[in-house]
Amino acid sequence: MTDTLTTHLTRAFATRETLMAQLHAENTDAYRLFHGTVEGHPGLTVDRYGDLLLVQCFHSPLTPELLAELTTFYAEKLPTLALVYNDRSQANSRIANALTAAQLDIASAPREAHEMGVTYRIQGRHAGQDPWLFLDLRAARRRVMQEVDGKSLLNLFAYTCGVGIAAAKAGARFVMNVDFSESSLQIGKENARFNSLPIRPRFIKSDAFAAMRQLSDVGQAEFVRGKRMPPFPKLEAQTFDCVFLDPPSYAKSAFGVVDLVNDYASVFKPALLCTSEGGMLICTNHVANVSREAWLDQLQRSAAKAGRPIREFEWILPEADFPSIDGEPPLKGVLLRV
How does pLDDT run across 7-27, given as a tens digit for each residue? Answer: 999 999 999 999 999 999 999
**pLDDT tens string 265-313:** 999 999 999 999 999 999 999 999 999 999 999 999 999 999 999 999 9
Question: What per-residue confidence (pLDDT) applies to 213?
Answer: 98
Same domain, 55 and 140: no
Q: Are residues 141 and 27 in the same domain?
A: no
Has residue 67 got a pLDDT over 80? yes
The count of domains in the chain is 2
If we measure between CA atoms, which residue out of 172, 247, 222 comes closest to residue 202?
Answer: 172
Q: Reply yes or no on whether the pLDDT at 330 is more than 60.
A: yes
Nearest CA to 160 out of 108, 199, 119, 210 is that of: 119
Rounded average pLDDT over 228-249: 97
Query: Directed axis angle between helix 17-25 and helix 5-15, to 10°?
Result: 50
Answer with the one of 99, 122, 145 that is the final residue of a domain. 122
On whether both 23 and 166 belong to a single domain, the answer is: no
- Report the interhelical angle of 64-77 vs 5-15 (nearest 10°): 30
**Cα-based distances in Å from 221 to 156, 202, 228:** 20, 23, 9
Q: Would residue 130 count as lying in a domain?
A: no
Residue partners of 238: CB distance under 8 A and separation at least 6: 215
The domain boundary, picked from 62, 94, 122, lies at 122
Q: What is the dihedral of CA 179, 180, 185, 186, to 10 degrees?
A: 180
Query: Are 158 and 164 contacting, i.e. CB atoms less than 8 angstroms apart?
Result: yes
Domain that holds residue 171: 135-337
Per-residue model confidence as pLDDT tens digits over 159-208: 999 999 999 999 999 999 999 999 999 999 999 999 999 999 999 999 99
Written as one string, the DSSP assignment of 96-151 is: -----HHHHHHHHS-EEEEETTEEEEE-SS-SSSS-SS-GGGHHHHHHHHHH-TT-
Residues 182 and 313 grouped into a single domain? yes
Tell me, what CATH number does 35's domain have? 3.30.750.80
Residue 226: the pLDDT is 87
Same domain, 180 and 306: yes
Q: What is the DSSP letter of 229?
A: P
In a domain, 128, yes or no: no
CB atoms within 10 A of CB 150: 9
Bridge partners, 315 (sequence order) = 334
| CB < 8 Å & 24+ apart, contacts of 23-29 | 26/116, 26/117, 27/114, 27/115, 27/116, 27/117, 28/114, 28/115, 28/116, 28/138, 29/113, 29/114
Q: Is pLDDT above 70 for 1?
A: no
Lowest-confidence range among 13-27, 31-45, 84-98?
Answer: 84-98
pLDDT cut 70: percent of the chain above it: 99
pLDDT over threshold 80, residue 316: yes
User: What mean pLDDT value characterizes the chain?
Assistant: 96
- The CATH number of whichever domain residue 203 belongs to comes to 3.40.50.150
Say which range, 91-95, 119-123, 212-216, has the weakest mean pLDDT: 91-95
